A and B are shown apart, each in its own frame.
Chain A
Amino acid sequence: QQQVKQSPQSLIVQKGGIPIINCAYENTAFDYFPWYQQFPGKGPALLIAIRPDVSEKKEGRFTISFNKSAKQFSLHIMDSQPGDSATYFCAASKLGQGAQKLVFGQGTRLTINP
């Protein structure tokens, strides 16, 4: 019930393409869904996050789509650039209570070819 399943494990896209990374969760108590970007040698950095009361959120070239009934959410990167090449993690947790326990997906290694 605590799992977050992420796919694909790796993805190669040409510059300008729109990579899509998908995540599915089981625990309906989750109410906070962030995406993190990690470059080699660095810690994960928060990209964008969504709560289940909205179906879509955009920040710059990054968009999260959220489907509460299917318990799925996805990250789209518009006009992808070689600098977007990194590992992306989806995560989920329960707000309130103050607890900061994030459950992460397994990660997607994204490569954007020039």
Chain B
Amino acid sequence: KAGVTQTPRYLIKTRGQQVTLSCSPISGHRSVSWYQQTPGQGLQFLFEYFSETQRNKGNFPGRFSGRQFSNSRSEMNVSTLELGDSALYLCASNRGSSGNEQFFGPGTRLTVL
């Protein structure tokens, strides 16, 4: 069974630009969560999508948004990029039922210059 895949793996943008990151969950998984990982703040929850609906949200500004498609694939978008948005963005999937075992992808390394 293929794992969680994320594209692109690396991205360099400049301040003020916007970016879209993509995540394909494990087949059969209906929940996709996004996390931001930085050396200073660690792993922080961004949001979770289940059946194309945002089911939970972390404490990030509205510049961070996401969506989920009918095939459970998800995208997250960051608008008006700031230097502090440089991070590893991780996507995790699970079946979406009561069990919380999440499977993480390798992440997208975003660098904002």
Contact = CB atoms under 8 A, between A and B. Distances in A.
Interface of A: 32, 34, 36, 41-46, 49, 89, 91, 93, 95-96, 98-107
A39 to B, nearest CB: 10
Contact of B56 (A95, A96, A99): A99
A105 B41 CA distance: 10
A45 B90 CA distance: 12
B104 A45 contact: yes
A99 B105 contact: no
A113 B105 CA distance: 28
B94 interface: yes
Contacts of B56: 99-101
Contacts of A101: 33, 45, 48, 56, 58
B42 A100 contact: no
A47 to B, nearest CB: 11
Interface stretch (B66-74, B78-86, B95-103): B95-103
Given A43-B4, A46-B102, A98 B55 contact: yes
A98 B50 contact: yes
B55 A42 contact: no
A96 B96 CA distance: 10
Contacts of B101: 34, 46, 49
Nearest to B6: A43
Given A44-B43, A44-B90, A89-B43, A100 B104 contact: no
A99 B102 contact: no
B87 interface: no
Q: What 6 pairs between A and B have smallest CB-CB spacing?
A: A43-B104, A104-B43, A99-B56, A106-B42, A100-B33, A100-B48
